[in-house]
């Protein structure tokens, strides 16, 4: 009962109890049956406890029967039923066939996201996952250094990302909407600061989005974005970041080709706005402790604003 009351607050974009896919619905269903089963056992135990403490002494035979029925038979039946029910909910082989494959690499502390396409090469982006409604998406998960766990509560269970191993997770979202994914395994100083927006779109809309993400970056048209691009290259940002279609081709940090189109900055920690972008560039370590990207606090305010204008223009 207490769990039921507490769980009424578990709505919103990052809740395993507000499922937006078949897999998440199974997890939520299993959760509620487990709650009901454990409540039944708990009630039985408490009732027997009260009976033993307050009841009048009865014959030894009655007592033995009570222990047998309520202490052994009832828990065996309830737990056995829950086990059989839980096993039936396991995904079948058919559920594991994928319509779409996405590699996600857990980095410190952000997500490298690579869409593998049948026609054309892979498309890399970061800290954002978009999925077409009704298609089974296979996530191919890995990490170069520490263990993370990839979790989109609204869409299904979590899966560890383990250095030296590839793990897989197949999800099929059924409901269009915006959700939130997070790292579910303590991985270091900014573990709590590596989230990512998840958007489930209609298939045609998704195709258009992926095509746009595959295109090279747009050249900056006006000032201060043009000066921003020159500063971006002059300060060596291209050593870590790629902006496809320019000479910036670093592979250490997030790909920035279409960073202006993303729903957040710094892996879900800041809104994607020019002022926030400039603040991020100047104070990376203050915003995200132990982050690998150095703070560019030596740049003048107006230089930071120019770089932010350039990056925000990369739609």
Q: Which residues does 184 contact at the CB level (< 8 Å), separation at least 6?
A: 149, 150, 151, 158
Q: What tokens does 93 get?
A: 């082989």
Give me the residue label for tokens 């489930």. Answer: 200
Query: Taking the complex as a whole, how short is the minimal distance between the CB of residue 161 and ligand CUA, in angstroms?
Result: 8
Question: DSSP H helical segments within 264-313, as ranges?
Answer: 274-282, 284-287, 301-312
User: What burial letters (b/e) apply to 175-202, b meaning 16+ CB within 10 Å?
Assistant: eeeebbbbbbbebeebbebbbbbbbbbe
Query: Taking the complex as a whole, how short is the minimal distance between the CB of residue 105 and ligand CUA, in angstroms?
Result: 11
Pick the closest to residue 256 from 158, 129, 97, 126 (CA basis). 126
What character string, x for contact with ligand CUA (CB under 6 A) and - otherwise, covers 48-87? ----------------------------------------
Query: Taking the complex as a whole, how short is the minimal distance between the CB of residue 283 and ligand CUA, in angstroms?
Result: 21
Pick the closest to residue 236 from 223, 220, 247 (CA basis). 247
Question: DSSP H helical segments within 56-128, as ranges?
Answer: 60-66, 74-88
Q: Which of 106, 153, 254, 266 binds ligand CUA (CB under 6 A)?
A: 106
Query: Taking the complex as a whole, how short is the minimal distance between the CB of residue 112 and ligand CUA, in angstroms?
Result: 12
Query: Taking the complex as a whole, how short is the minimal distance between the CB of residue 150 and ligand CUA, in angstroms?
Result: 9
Whose Cβ is closer to ligand CUA: residue 194's or residue 309's?
194
Whose Cβ is closer to ligand CUA: residue 220's or residue 268's?
268
Whose Cβ is closer to ligand CUA: residue 141's or residue 217's?
141
Q: Which own/partner pairs from 45-50 qualify as long-range (CB within 8 Å, at least 24 positions apart)?
A: 45/70
Residues that contact ligand CUA, how many (by CB under 6 A): 9
Whose Cβ is closer to ligand CUA: residue 235's or residue 264's?
264
Whose Cβ is closer to ligand CUA: residue 183's or residue 210's?
183
Cα angle at 145 between 109 and 265, to 5 degrees?
15
Where does residue 15 fall: left (phi above 0), alpha (psi -120 to 50 degrees), or beta otherwise?
Answer: beta
Whose Cβ is closer to ligand CUA: residue 100's or residue 269's?
269
Query: Taking the complex as a whole, how short is the minimal distance between the CB of residue 223 and ligand CUA, in angstroms?
Result: 39
Whose Cβ is closer to ligand CUA: residue 185's or residue 305's?
185
Maximum Cα–Cα distance for the chain, whole Å? 93
Contact yes or no for 131/200 (Cβ under 8 A): yes
Contact yes or no for 179/13 (Cβ under 8 A): yes
What character string, x for contact with ligand CUA (CB under 6 A) and - otherwise, covers 177-216? ------x-xxx---x--x----------------------
Interface residues for ligand CUA in 253-312 (CB under 6 A)?
A: none
What character string, x for contact with ligand CUA (CB under 6 A) and - otherwise, covers 126-165? ----------------------x-----------------
Query: Taking the complex as a whole, how short is the minimal distance between the CB of residue 194 and ligand CUA, in angstroms?
Result: 5
Whose Cβ is closer to ligand CUA: residue 32's or residue 186's?
186
Whose Cβ is closer to ligand CUA: residue 110's or residue 310's?
110
Query: Taking the complex as a whole, how short is the minimal distance between the CB of residue 181 and ligand CUA, in angstroms?
Result: 11
Q: Which residues does 74 contact at the CB level (< 8 Å), separation at least 6?
A: 40, 41, 44
CB atoms within 10 A of CB 216: 11
Rule CB under 6 A: which residues touch ligand CUA? 106, 109, 148, 183, 185-187, 191, 194
């Amino acid at each position: 009962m207490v769990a039921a009351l507490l769980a009424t607050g578990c709505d919103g974009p990052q809740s395993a109890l507000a499922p937006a896919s078949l897999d998440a619905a199974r997890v939520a269903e299993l959760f509620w049956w487990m709650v009901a089963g454990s409540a039944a056992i708990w009630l039985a135990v408490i009732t027997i406890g009260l009976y033993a403490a307050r009841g009048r002494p009865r014959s030894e035979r009655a007592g033995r029967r009570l222990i047998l029925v309520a202490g052994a038979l009832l828990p065996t039946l309830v737990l056995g039923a829950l086990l059989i029910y839980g096993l039936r909910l396991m995904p079948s082989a058919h559920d594991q066939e994928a319509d779409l494959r996405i590699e996600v690499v857990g980095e410190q502390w952000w997500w490298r996201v690579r869409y593998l396409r049948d026609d054309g090469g892979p498309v890399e982006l970061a800290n954002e996952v978009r999925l077409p409604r009704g298609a089974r998406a296979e996530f191919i998960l890995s990490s170069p250094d520490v263990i993370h766990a990839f979790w989109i509560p609204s869409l299904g269970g979590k899966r560890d990302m383990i250095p030296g191993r590839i793990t897989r997770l197949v999800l099929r979202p059924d409901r269009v909407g915006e959700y939130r994914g997070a790292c579910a395994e303590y991985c270091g100083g900014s573990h709590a600061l590596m989230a990512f927006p998840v958007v489930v779109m209609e298939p045609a809309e998704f195709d258009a989005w992926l095509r746009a993400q595959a295109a090279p970056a747009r050249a900056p048209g006006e000032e201060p974005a043009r000066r921003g691009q020159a500063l971006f290259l002059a300060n060596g940002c291209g050593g870590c970041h790629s902006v496809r279609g320019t000479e910036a081709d670093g592979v250490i940090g997030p790909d920035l080709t279409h960073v202006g189109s993303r729903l957040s900055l710094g892996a879900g920690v800041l809104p994607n706005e020019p002022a926030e972008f400039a603040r991020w560039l100047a104070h990376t370590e203050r915003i995200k402790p132990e982050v690998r990207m150095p703070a560019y606090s030596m740049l003048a305010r107006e230089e930071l604003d120019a770089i932010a204008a350039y990056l925000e223009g990369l739609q």
